[in-house]
Amino acid sequence: MMRFACPRCGQHIEADDDFAGQPVSCPYCQYSFTAPLASTLPPKAEPSNDISFRCARCGQHIAIDAAGAGLTVPCPKCGQNLVVPAPPKAVPVQNPASIPVAPPIITDVPPIIKN
């Protein structure tokens, strides 16, 4: 897997090594260019506590530490003031044994015949 930036919009792109030196289009701005022969960006960092969101005006991807939730920050690309959203809430994982299960529906019951 190789990583490089779009020469027009700067968005980071990941592509299979098979795309090295091949014509590609940026999935963000649709700019067509030739992919580099090797990665030009460092490997992805480990997951962090960053809150990722996009600027409503220009679409710029922004990542802010979770401690910044609720703060107003300027978009680095267009300067629009943005409120950092709250981090998504974790969804608790339930033990499958604790999830209630409906009783089975029996469909092969012979009809009751009155004598």
- pLDDT (tens digit, 9 = 90+) per residue, 92-111? 555 555 556 666 666 665 66
Q: What was the pLDDT predicted at 76?
A: 86
89 has a pLDDT exceeding 90: no
Q: Which residues are paired to 25 by β-bridges?
A: 32
* Single pTM value for the model: 0.41
Place of tokens 């990583």: 3
The DSSP bridge pattern shows strands 12-15 and 2-5 to be antiparallel
Q: What was the pLDDT predicted at 27?
A: 86
Contacts of 81 (CB under 8 A, 6+ apart): 72, 73, 74, 75
Closest CA to 9 of 68, 74, 59: 59
